[in-house]
Amino acid sequence: MTDFIEKRMPPVLKVEDLAVAYKVRGGEVEAVLNVTFDIQRGESHGIVGESGCGKSTVAWAILKFLGDNGYIKCGSIKFQGQELVGKSDEELRRLRSDQISMVYQDPMQALNPSMRIGDQMKEVLTVHRGLSSSAAEKRCMEMLERVAMPDPANVMLRYPHQISGGQQQRVVIGMALLNNPALLIMDEPTTALDVTVEAAVLDLIADLRRDFDTAIMYITHNLGVIARVASRIGVMYAGQMVERATVEDIFKSPQHPYTQGLIRCVPKLGTDKTGSILYPIRGRVPPPDNRPAGCIFSPRCDYVRPLCREQRPALRVIPGTNNETRCHFSEEIDASQWQPSEEIELPTLSGRKVEEQPILQLDNLKKYYPVKGNSLRDVLGLGEKRYVKAVESASFVVPQGKTLGIVGESGCGKSTLVKTIIGLEDATSGTAKFLGFDITGNISGRDKKLIQELQMVFQNPDSTMNPSFTVGQQIGRPMRLFKTAPKHRIRAEVIKLLQAMRLGENYYDRLPRQLSGGEKQRVGIARALASRPDLVLCDEPVSALDVSVQAAILNLLLDVQQEFGTTLIFIAHDLSVVRFFSDYVAVMYLGQIMEIGPADAIYRPPYHPYTEALLSAVPIPDPAAKQKRIRLEGSVPSAIAPPTGCRFHTRCPRRSLLPDPEICQTEPSWQMASDTHRIFCHHTLETLSSFEQVITTT
């Protein structure tokens, strides 16, 4: 089939043996080398890889957006048969505007904040196509309608900040398609969006591909997303493309050891820590100036042989499969026979007995932020007081030694909840007891002993450590502050902790800039554990990490919990990770806990309609899995004036099932599905139980 098309017409894009380098102080860095691939008409070609593997650089090289210090070292990029390498900037500029479009990660940065959306979109047509203003306007309206924007005429008159993030991305995609480009490059277009919005945008992309016959180059790090949008996938590793195949072949029979490893790293939705193990890939990506001489993956490969260290394999089709792989021995590798190498750390879940004493009890905890108005009355303090209701009556109990996962889309109040518990904010009302002590006030009023028992792990590995201090100093600081170790023992204690984090003693004197993201996160965890806390709050500890590192960090946290009996509150937006990691899960929407219960109970009926929608939106790294399609309408309402009654009722897809939908305007009551499983909904348990399972894996 592929051969047939190739004979008939040239591919839209054909990249051959591309190498891109950046000049830096004292030499140059080869970001990409020997990348070869092609994209056919109407095809959606995914490029997937971990951060720093050069996937964006390939996209920029096609457009020649390499900055002052980047240049194409060798290779050719043929676009519809024309060679792009060596073209003048002016020629490329014309090509970019008419034939190639790009969609970036952050829609807010792609749109001009000081221009109305209509004017920005029209500009594309009036400048490049020479259309009249009214004709352009008509085309833009059609396009907005095409990308499923509600009320296009109104949107045309608005400024970018007046529409939501998902809508902005729709506008950007619509703008990119206005010129009917032959090639559309999308660089992580949904990474900044919430799952439910992401799902809708991915649907849109799939739709558009069918209608417009545009070739799409889709770049992402997310295996679930790529499984949903791409028809063919190229897997990149350390600047090279290591495997290329159709989406089914990549996920069903990956041939390269790296691809196999990647797929083993991600938790499948529905698996949990007692039933399955995540296998991280050992070692780390080599820095671009220190790549191994032979196969680039050889230092981390479980099947490495002497030849791999000497000779760099070429991309070749593996006999008996449709996969192109850059591996010497793909035929001889049988993924089903794979055994984890002894070097990888795996958690040992010994089913340690924990007494189910509640350690943290929240009852009706509220956190409101006052909003400053702009009118004269507000300035004088006469106006009506308004509040952002960030957390609305949160009540739950966390038993000792267990993990509570909190999921929800951005702005649902999960971070505020954690900040209130740890004392960065004080609670507006309600009670919160930790170890029996009141913690509704902020940290300045708390006893040192209490502070010590409550620590936190942060999201961003690059900012979790102070760049000016060594690893040892930073881990030692809490020990010194809380006097958990005598002065002369601190160094020994820190090293012991480092070893528990699988970092050697030689990390003691390193500065943060000498560490990789995963290592920084390990140090962040070590610092949180240094004061031997009873409860550790983890605010998205793995969401900024690559999947192979994420698996290692999750395993580490599991081990820590086993060893120290620490209780964890784990915030994440990735439902598969939360499902895998947590004992209990709370689902939040707009400051309200919608459903809370044991992890396995949350992921099958009965569930709250919002949970159902979330589950249906999760991208699953398995093209064979069946997922029911439920998409939420509109966007999350403002937290200043949330809908009355059930906060979800304005978007609830299940509202019509109620005999009297008006009842949603009143506060629902908790439906007790079991002792520990509560659902905040007007539907009866019978109705909720009658929903069919969202995800069925085959």
Residues 6+ apart with CB under 8 A from 583: 402, 403, 404, 598, 599
Footprint of other proteins on 132-151 (CB under 8 A): none
Applying CB under 8 A, which part among 21-29, 38-46, 223-231, 401-409 lies near other proteins?
21-29
Residue 130 interacts with other proteins (CB under 8 A): yes or no: no
Per the DSSP assignment, residues forming a β-bridge with 403 are: 568
If the CB atoms of residues 357 and 463 are measured against other proteins, the closer one turns out to be 463
Strand 358-371 relative to strand 386-399, pairing: antiparallel
Token pair for 624: 């064979």
Residue 514 interacts with other proteins (CB under 8 A): yes or no: yes
Q: Give the max Cα distance, the chain.
A: 79
Residue from 90, 211, 343, 355 touching other proteins (CB under 8 A): that is 343
Written as one letter, the residue type at 249 is D
Applying CB under 8 A, which part among 209-217, 399-407, 466-474, 646-654 lies near other proteins?
466-474
Neighbours of 140 (CB within 10 A): 27
Footprint of other proteins on 541-600 (CB under 8 A): 552
Applying CB under 8 A, which part among 13-21, 190-198, 526-534, 589-597 lies near other proteins?
526-534
Token pair for 525: 């965890």
Using an 8 Å Cβ cutoff, are 649 and 664 in contact?
Answer: yes
For the bound state, the minimum distance from the C-beta of residue 496 to other proteins, rounded and expressed in Å, comes to 14
If the CB atoms of residues 248 and 378 are measured against other proteins, the closer one turns out to be 378
Strand 386-399 relative to strand 403-407, pairing: unpaired
Task: Calculate the alpha carbon distances from 168 to 165, 266, 559 in Å.
Answer: 5, 30, 42
**Residue of 108, 212, 188, 204 lying closest to 147 (CA atoms):** 204
Using the structure block, give the residue that is written with the tokens 């060893």.
Answer: 563
Residue 690 interacts with other proteins (CB under 8 A): yes or no: no
For the bound state, the minimum distance from the C-beta of residue 487 to other proteins, rounded and expressed in Å, comes to 18
Residue from 15, 422, 551, 620 touching other proteins (CB under 8 A): that is 422
Footprint of other proteins on 480-509 (CB under 8 A): 481-482, 502-504, 506, 509
Identify the sign of the CA torsion 507, 510, 514, 517: positive
Footprint of other proteins on 37-76 (CB under 8 A): 69
Per the DSSP assignment, residues forming a β-bridge with 432 are: 362
Using an 8 Å Cβ cutoff, are 539 and 507 in contact?
Answer: no
Residue 282 interacts with other proteins (CB under 8 A): yes or no: yes
For the bound state, the minimum distance from the C-beta of residue 70 to other proteins, rounded and expressed in Å, comes to 11
Residue 519 interacts with other proteins (CB under 8 A): yes or no: yes
If the CB atoms of residues 422 and 673 are measured against other proteins, the closer one turns out to be 422
Residue 26 interacts with other proteins (CB under 8 A): yes or no: yes
If the CB atoms of residues 69 and 274 are measured against other proteins, the closer one turns out to be 69
Identify the sign of the CA torsion 212, 213, 215, 220: positive
If the CB atoms of residues 99 and 442 are measured against other proteins, the closer one turns out to be 442
Cα-only R_g, the chain: 27
Footprint of other proteins on 443-462 (CB under 8 A): 443-444, 446, 448, 451, 454-456, 458-460
If the CB atoms of residues 206 and 450 are measured against other proteins, the closer one turns out to be 450
> What is 175-216 written as a DSSP string?
HHHTT--SEEEEESTTTTS-HHHHHHHHHHHHHHHHHH--EE
Using an 8 Å Cβ cutoff, are 224 and 202 in contact?
Answer: no
Neighbours of 133 (CB within 10 A): 11
- Count of alpha carbons within 13 angstroms of residue 175, beta-carbon side: 25
Residue 193 interacts with other proteins (CB under 8 A): yes or no: no
Residues 6+ apart with CB under 8 A from 447: 437
Applying CB under 8 A, which part among 44-52, 280-288, 428-436, 630-638 lies near other proteins?
280-288
Applying CB under 8 A, which part among 140-148, 385-393, 474-482, 611-619 lies near other proteins?
474-482
If the CB atoms of residues 16 and 426 are measured against other proteins, the closer one turns out to be 426
Report the alpha-carbon distance of residue 403 to residue 570 in Å, rounded. Answer: 7
Token pair for 248: 């089914």
Report the alpha-carbon distance of residue 220 to residue 230 in Å, rounded. Answer: 10
Residue 29 interacts with other proteins (CB under 8 A): yes or no: yes
For the bound state, the minimum distance from the C-beta of residue 503 to other proteins, rounded and expressed in Å, comes to 7
String of contacts with other proteins for each residue 225-264, x by CB under 8 A: ----------------------------------------
If the CB atoms of residues 253 and 484 are measured against other proteins, the closer one turns out to be 484
Residue 381 interacts with other proteins (CB under 8 A): yes or no: no
Neighbours of 669 (CB within 10 A): 11
If the CB atoms of residues 175 and 498 are measured against other proteins, the closer one turns out to be 498
Residue 115 interacts with other proteins (CB under 8 A): yes or no: no
If the CB atoms of residues 240 and 459 are measured against other proteins, the closer one turns out to be 459
By CB under 8 A, how many residues form the interface with other proteins?
52
For the bound state, the minimum distance from the C-beta of residue 540 to other proteins, rounded and expressed in Å, comes to 11
Applying CB under 8 A, which part among 140-148, 267-275, 320-328, 418-426 lies near other proteins?
418-426
If the CB atoms of residues 77 and 418 are measured against other proteins, the closer one turns out to be 418
Mapped onto helix, strand or coil, the DSSP state of residue 101 is strand
Residue from 274, 463, 638, 690 touching other proteins (CB under 8 A): that is 463
Strand 44-49 relative to strand 215-220, pairing: parallel
Instruction: Give burial (CB, 10 Å; 0-12/13-18/19+) of 253.
Output: middle
Report the alpha-carbon distance of residue 420 to residue 399 in Å, rounded. Answer: 19
- Count of alpha carbons within 13 angstroms of residue 369, beta-carbon side: 15
- Count of alpha carbons within 13 angstroms of residue 646, beta-carbon side: 24
If the CB atoms of residues 141 and 443 are measured against other proteins, the closer one turns out to be 443
If the CB atoms of residues 288 and 399 are measured against other proteins, the closer one turns out to be 288
Applying CB under 8 A, which part among 4-12, 467-475, 613-621, 673-681 lies near other proteins?
467-475
Which residues are near other proteins by CB under 8 A? 22, 24-27, 29, 69, 282-284, 289, 299, 343-345, 422-424, 443-444, 446, 448, 451, 454-456, 458-460, 463-469, 477-478, 481-482, 502-504, 506, 509, 514, 519, 524, 527-528, 531, 552
